[in-house]
């Protein structure tokens, strides 16, 4: 009996260490839109409402985009009891009314805070107010919290995010926790049971392949995000995703660069948080962000982050195992010149030893080849050791296939 009591007490002691985060949300990488990349601090309730309208009217919600996320600069002051209030000029009707509106459209509302004393834009942070802030968000009907890392001085990252995770749990409303710690404390090593996604690096900017240095911080391009993320695939999976930052599709890169950017985020099972003005989009932008077949690669139920298998003749070859033995295969040309390539499937007999244990077996298996950007079937793979097709990968672009396993 004594032994049993000891065992039960020991088990109970460990219980709070496990599963403190809200579960059964974030089983697929989150999809939505955020204010930050396009609007920075120039936001108000009208912007949010019209984005929610556009999310539905454009058809974005139908292909899976769900969250309307308010980033930095929505804050007013704390009230006499310490509860945070929105800026009354920007959000005169208040957050509850805004959440109701977003919900009435079948969408979900996201909000933003910071583990430190102030957000990156100098708004009130959550330090010392975690339970109160979580309660306030829950009362408003918020569904998603992005928690930033500015002004944290000597705050312990594991403790800070764990605290917010527990506060969200205690507040009683399932809220997705998007951790934005930029990778300095390697959150992929410890955040699996704390948040649903974690940023793996600095902020993206609308550029394909270069960094932009500011005093005290640096923004990185699409290729720099990919380089940081490609080594972290073993840490991602359903409910806990690596986040290489929000999308810049439609914000000024070329169509080729935008297509490569979106494809690679899908190959890496990344969160798909749009950062453009979705009220006003070119057809080219719509064709990219609403490509259902590509979104399906991102959202695949296995939740495996793609593998950068090898490089050949200036091209990168990426593989992502999918449900039912399918694979996504992307050939990325990150250079500024188009590259011709003779594709022989026998050069890609590989096993994903790190995560899925799935093998391509091109020497014995035949796949139907579906081009994910032309939306055309391109025949079948061949088990013969010879060129299957001569192709050209345009500069800063991709050729991307779904390889459909044949019975
Ligand atoms: C940080 C984050 C960005 C954005 C800004 C807001 O830089 O990494 O994604 O939220 O703060 O100030």
**Ligand 1 atom index nearest CA of 146:** 10
72 lines ligand 1 (CB under 6 A): yes
List Cβ neighbours of 314 (8 Å cut-off, separation of 6 or more): 333, 335, 339
Ligand 1 centroid vs 123 CA: distance in angstroms? Answer: 12
Nearest-CA residue for atom 6 of ligand 1: 72
179 lines ligand 1 (CB under 6 A): no
Q: Which residue intervals of the chain bear CATH 2.60.40.1180?
A: 307-405
Nearest to 205 by CA among 68, 40, 64: 40
Rg (the chain; Cα; Å): 22
For a mutational test of ligand 1's pocket, the pick from 36, 38, 145, 202, i.e. the residue with the most ligand atoms closer than 8 A to its C-beta, is 36
**Ligand 1 atom index nearest CA of 203:** 8
Q: Show which residues are catalytic.
A: 148, 203
Q: What pLDDT sits at residue 389?
A: 97
Q: What pLDDT sits at residue 19?
A: 52
The mean pLDDT of 200-221, rounded to a whole number, is 97
277 lines ligand 1 (CB under 6 A): no
Residue 82, pLDDT > 90, answer yes
Q: What pLDDT sits at residue 20?
A: 85
Nearest-CA residue for atom 3 of ligand 1: 203
* CA count, 13 A, side-chain hemisphere, 39: 23
Lowest mean pLDDT among 19-28, 124-133, 142-151: 19-28
| Cα–Cα dist 48/64, whole Å | 18
71 lines ligand 1 (CB under 6 A): yes
Pairing between strand 212-214 and 217-219?
antiparallel
List pLDDT tens digits, range 212-228: 999 999 999 999 999 99
Residue 1, pLDDT > 60, answer no
118 lines ligand 1 (CB under 6 A): no
203 lines ligand 1 (CB under 6 A): yes
The mean pLDDT of 184-189, rounded to a whole number, is 98
| Cα–Cα dist 188/78, whole Å | 33
DSSP lists the bridge partners of residue 370 as 377, 402
List pLDDT tens digits, range 57-80: 999 999 999 999 999 999 999 999
Q: Which residue intervals of the chain bear CATH 3.20.20.70?
A: 2-298
> pLDDT-based confidence at 7, cuts 50/70/90?
low
Ligand 1 centroid vs 203 CA: distance in angstroms? Answer: 7
**Ligand 1 atom index nearest CA of 182:** 8
Nearest to 369 by CA among 351, 350, 343, 394: 343
Say whether domain 2-298 belongs to CATH 3.40.50.1240.
Answer: no
Residues 226 and 52 sit within 8 Å (Cβ to Cβ): no
Q: What pLDDT sits at residue 4?
A: 55
**Ligand 1 atom index nearest CA of 180:** 8
**157-171 and 130-140 helices, crossing angle to 10°:** 40
Strand ranges (DSSP E) for 176-298? Answer: 176-179, 197-199, 212-214, 217-219, 241-243, 272-274
Domain 307-405, CATH: 2.60.40.1180
């Amino acid at each position: 009996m004594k032994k049993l009591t000891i065992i039960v007490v020991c088990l109970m002691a460990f219980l709070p260490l496990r599963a403190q985060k809200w579960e059964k949300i974030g089983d697929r990488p989150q999809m939505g839109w955020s204010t930050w990349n396009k609007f920075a601090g120039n936001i108000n309730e009208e912007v949010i409402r019209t984005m929610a309208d556009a999310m539905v009217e454009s058809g974005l919600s139908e292909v899976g985009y769900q969250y309307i996320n308010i980033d930095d600069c929505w804050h007013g002051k704390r009230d006499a009891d310490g509860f945070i209030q929105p800026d009354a000029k920007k959000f005169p009707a208040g957050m509850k009314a805004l959440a109701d509106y977003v919900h009435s459209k079948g969408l979900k509302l996201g909000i933003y805070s910071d583990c430190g004393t102030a957000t990156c834009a100098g708004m009130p942070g959550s330090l010392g107010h975690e339970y109160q802030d979580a309660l306030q968000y829950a009362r408003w009907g918020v569904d998603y919290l992005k928690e930033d890392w500015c002004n944290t001085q000597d705050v312990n990252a594991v403790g800070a995010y764990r605290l917010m995770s527990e506060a969200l749990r205690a507040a009683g409303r399932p809220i997705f926790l998007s951790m934005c710690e930029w990778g300095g404390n390697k959150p992929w090593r410890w955040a699996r049971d704390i948040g649903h996604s974690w940023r793996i690096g600095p902020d993206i900017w609308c550029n394909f392949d270069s960094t932009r240095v500011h005093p005290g911080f640096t923004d990185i391009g699409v290729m720099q995000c990919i380089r940081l993320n490609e080594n972290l695939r073993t840490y991602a999976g359903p409910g806990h995703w690596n986040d290489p930052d929000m999308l810049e599709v439609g914000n000024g890169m070329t169509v080729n660069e935008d297509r490569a950017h979106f494809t690679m985020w899908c190959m890496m099972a990344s969160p798909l948080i749009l950062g453009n003005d979705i009220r006003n989009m070119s057809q080219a932008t719509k064709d990219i962000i609403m490509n259902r077949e590509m979104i399906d690669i991102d959202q695949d139920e296995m939740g495996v982050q793609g593998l950068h298998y090898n490089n050949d003749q200036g091209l990168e070859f990426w593989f992502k195992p999918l449900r039912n033995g399918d694979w996504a295969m992307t050939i990325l040309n990150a250079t500024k010149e188009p590259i011709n390539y003779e594709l022989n499937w026998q050069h890609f007999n590989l096993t994903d030893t790190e995560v899925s244990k799935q093998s391509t077996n091109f020497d014995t298996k035949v796949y139907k080849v579906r081009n994910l950007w032309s939306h055309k079937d391109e025949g079948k793979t061949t088990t013969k050791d010879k060129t299957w097709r001569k192709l050209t990968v345009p500069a800063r672009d991709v050729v991307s296939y779904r390889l459909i396993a044949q019975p």
